[in-house]
Structures are given as structure tokens and as C-alpha cells.
């Protein structure tokens, strides 16, 4: 009986030893298998993930940005699965062969889940009046955003970070030092160049340059449109409408003098209550100063 117990104990120890050895051996084998799988995966990826991303972007008809990229085994082949968001707000899933960089599959989401570049620019311009300098789709803190730069009519450069998913402005940076002329200054420069009254003024992008387009009813009675550099105020182009839009200042003087005899001291065109008028100041024959208002469009005198 004692011998049996000893043998049983010895056998049990042997079994435990073998069991422990088997577990250890299995762990080594598992480690080797994982290493082998890693080597195999590495061998399958002849192209880098950066090249796969570029291949995916090149395959999209619209410009966009990569949302994510990872290697997977699909139907026995290793591919990079690259998700791309294009500037129209459409998502693309593109499979790129890890061995040769060729696009194996390209799927497009039919439903638009993100805002487009055009909409992002509208949001930026609504919050910062001016003209779009640049807009770019990027990923920031795992969120897809449009970075839109606006040359503001306040003379400053505004940078908006707009969430592509919910249209919210994540961040708004303002370059405090004056980069561009203000709208008021642009109008002042335009009036120095062409005497009259401003009909309209707005900032636009022309040939990649931010310009102020200022339209003026000049004292010659014609509409002058000045295209001015948004930074320096230099007149780049001036268009003059051939058709007479208003009566000329000389004609307004003549009408005013027919109403009040004397000598014209000064005259100025202004917009009052939505009507363009010449305000003519006359030194009358009785040596008093009289003011006559002449409708700049039809020559009628305001009493």
C-alpha cells in the first residue's frame, strides 16, 4: 500500500511536469505563430500605407482627405482598406492591394452624411464677411474639419475650423494685425479716385487675389466700377458704363441756378432715403446761402 502511494505520487509529479512542459511548449509555439503571422503580413505589404492612401485619393474623382486606413486580409489577399471623405461630403471605401498598390474595390456611400466644401465656405463667409482665401479638408483630433481662411472686410484674416459632420465652428482664429483694407477705407480710396457716391462695395477673389469691387455714381453721371487691390488699394481695373445713369453735376448746377439765381459755391451727390440727389449750395444774389436739392436721376427739385 505504501509503495502504491509512492508510485502514485511519482506518477502524478511526472504528469504535472509533462503538463507544465506542454503548456510552456504551446506558449512558445503560439509566440512563434504570431511572429510568423507578423512576418507574413510584413511580406505581403510591398507598398507603404502612405502610398496606399495616395492611391485611394487618386482614385476619387473629387478631392478629399483620408479618414482612416488599415491592413486587412480580404478573400485571401492582403489589402489596405482606406476610407476617404471627398469635398462633396461623400464617403468612399477603397481597397488597395498591399503587393502592387492597385485599387481592388471602390465603394461609395449613396447618402451624404457630411457637409460639402461649398457649404463650409458659406458658413465661414456668414460668420466673417469677406472673401475665401483658401479651404482645406483635414482630420483634427479624429474629427474631419474644413479649415477655411477668409479675408475679412474688417481688414483681418479669419481662420474657421468647421466640423464636417454637424456644421459647427470648432475654432475661429483672427489675425489681429490688419492684413487687408477695411471696406470703409476701400470706399474712401475709391471716392478719392472718382468723385461721386458709392452705389455698392464688396470683396471678391479675382485671379487668386482679394479685391474690393466698388461701384460709384460719378459726377459725370456714369457708373464707374473700380477693382482695387484688397491690401494696397491700388486700382487694378476701372470699368465705365457708357449709358448715362444719372444727370451730370454741371446739369444739376444749371437746374439749381434756374431755381435760385447766384453762384454755385459747392455741390455733392448723396443718397437720401434711397434716392440719389445733388446737394447744391448757392451764394444767392442777395448774398445769402441757399441749398437746392436736385434729383440726380430725373433732375427734379426737392422742395
Backbone angles phi, psi at 251, to 5 degrees: -65, -40
Looking at the fold, whether 203 and 167 belong to one and the same domain comes out as: no
Residue where one domain finishes, among candidates 91, 108, 125: 108
Q: What pLDDT, in 10s, does the model give residues 44-54? A: 578 899 999 99
Predicted confidence (pLDDT) at residue 36 exceeds the cutoff of 60: no
Report the distance separating Cα 233 and Cα 180, nearest Å: 9
Q: What pLDDT, in 10s, does the model give residues 93-114? A: 999 999 999 999 999 988 888 9
How many Cβ atoms from other residues are within 10 Å of residue 63's Cβ? Answer: 13
Looking at the fold, whether 88 and 56 belong to one and the same domain comes out as: yes
Predicted confidence (pLDDT) at residue 24 exceeds the cutoff of 60: no
Looking at the fold, whether 235 and 187 belong to one and the same domain comes out as: yes
Asked whether residue 259 is domain-assigned, the answer is yes
Report the distance separating Cα 249 and Cα 269, nearest Å: 8
pLDDT for the residue numbered 5: 44
| DSSP H helices in the chain | 2-44, 49-59, 117-127, 183-193, 249-259
Predicted confidence (pLDDT) at residue 289 exceeds the cutoff of 60: yes
Structure pTM?
Answer: 0.60
Asked whether residue 10 is domain-assigned, the answer is no
Asked whether residue 33 is domain-assigned, the answer is no
> How many domains does the structure of the chain reveal?
4
Is the CB of residue 228 less than 8 Å from the CB of residue 250?
A: no
Average pLDDT, the chain: 85
Asked whether residue 260 is domain-assigned, the answer is yes
Q: What pLDDT, in 10s, does the model give residues 217-263? A: 999 999 999 999 998 999 999 999 988 889 999 999 999 999 999 99
Report the distance separating Cα 292 and Cα 268, nearest Å: 11
Work out the pLDDT band at 129, boundaries 50, 70, 90: confident
Q: What pLDDT, in 10s, does the model give residues 158-171? A: 999 999 999 999 99
pLDDT for the residue numbered 44: 57
Residues of the chain with pLDDT > 70, as a percent, come to 84
Domain ranges, residue 273? 249-302
Predicted confidence (pLDDT) at residue 88 exceeds the cutoff of 70: yes
Specify the CATH number for the domain of residue 227.
3.10.450.40
Cell 461623400: give the residue. Answer: 90
Report the distance separating Cα 246 and Cα 276, nearest Å: 9
Report the distance separating Cα 161 and Cα 140, nearest Å: 9
Predicted confidence (pLDDT) at residue 66 exceeds the cutoff of 70: yes
Asked whether residue 13 is domain-assigned, the answer is no
Asked whether residue 9 is domain-assigned, the answer is no
- Tell me which long-range contacts 70-76 makes (C-beta under 8 A, separation of at least 24): 71/41, 71/45, 71/98, 74/104
Asked whether residue 266 is domain-assigned, the answer is yes
Work out the pLDDT band at 18, boundaries 50, 70, 90: very low
Residue where one domain finishes, among candidates 90, 108, 126: 108
Q: What pLDDT, in 10s, does the model give residues 194-205? A: 999 999 998 888
The arithmetic mean of pLDDT across residues 5-22, rounded, is: 44
Looking at the fold, whether 169 and 188 belong to one and the same domain comes out as: no
Asked whether residue 39 is domain-assigned, the answer is no
Residue where one domain finishes, among candidates 175, 206, 224: 175
Amino acid at each position: 500500500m505504501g509503495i502504491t502511494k509512492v508510485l502514485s505520487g511519482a506518477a502524478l509529479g511526472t504528469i504535472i511536469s509533462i503538463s507544465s512542459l506542454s503548456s510552456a511548449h504551446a506558449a512558445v509555439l503560439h509566440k512563434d505563430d504570431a511572429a510568423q503571422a507578423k512576418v507574413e503580413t510584413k511580406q505581403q505589404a510591398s507598398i507603404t500605407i502612405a502610398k496606399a492612401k495616395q492611391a485611394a485619393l487618386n482614385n476619387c474623382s473629387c478631392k478629399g482627405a483620408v479618414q482612416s486606413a488599415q491592413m486587412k486580409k480580404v478573400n485571401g489577399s492582403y489589402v489596405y482598406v482606406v476610407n476617404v471623405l471627398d469635398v462633396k461630403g461623400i464617403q468612399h471605401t477603397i481597397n488597395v492591394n498591399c503587393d502592387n498598390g492597385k485599387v481592388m474595390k471602390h465603394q461609395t456611400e449613396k447618402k451624404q452624411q457630411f457637409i460639402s466644401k461649398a457649404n463650409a465656405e458659406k458658413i465661414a463667409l456668414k460668420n466673417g464677411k469677406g472673401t475665401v482665401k483658401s479651404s482645406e479638408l483635414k482630420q483634427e483630433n479624429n474629427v474631419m474639419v474644413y479649415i477655411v481662411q477668409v479675408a475679412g472686410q474688417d481688414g483681418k484674416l479669419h481662420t474657421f475650423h468647421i466640423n464636417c459632420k454637424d456644421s459647427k465652428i470648432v475654432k475661429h482664429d483672427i489675425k489681429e494685425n490688419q492684413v487687408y483694407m477695411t471696406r470703409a477705407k476701400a470706399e474712401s480710396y475709391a471716392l478719392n479716385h472718382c468723385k461721386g457716391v458709392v452705389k455698392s462695395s464688396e470683396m471678391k477673389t479675382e485671379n487668386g487675389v482679394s479685391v474690393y469691387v466698388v461701384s460709384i455714381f460719378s459726377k459725370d453721371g456714369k457708373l464707374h466700377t473700380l477693382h482695387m487691390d484688397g491690401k494696397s488699394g491700388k486700382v487694378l481695373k476701372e470699368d465705365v458704363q457708357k449709358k448715362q445713369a444719372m444727370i451730370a453735376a454741371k446739369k444739376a448746377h444749371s437746374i439749381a441756378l434756374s431755381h435760385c439765381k447766384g453762384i454755385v459755391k459747392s455741390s455733392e451727390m448723396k443718397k437720401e432715403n434711397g434716392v440719389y440727389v445733388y446737394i447744391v449750395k448757392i451764394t444767392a444774389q442777395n448774398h445769402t446761402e441757399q441749398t437746392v436739392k436736385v434729383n440726380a436721376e430725373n433732375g427734379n427739385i426737392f422742395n
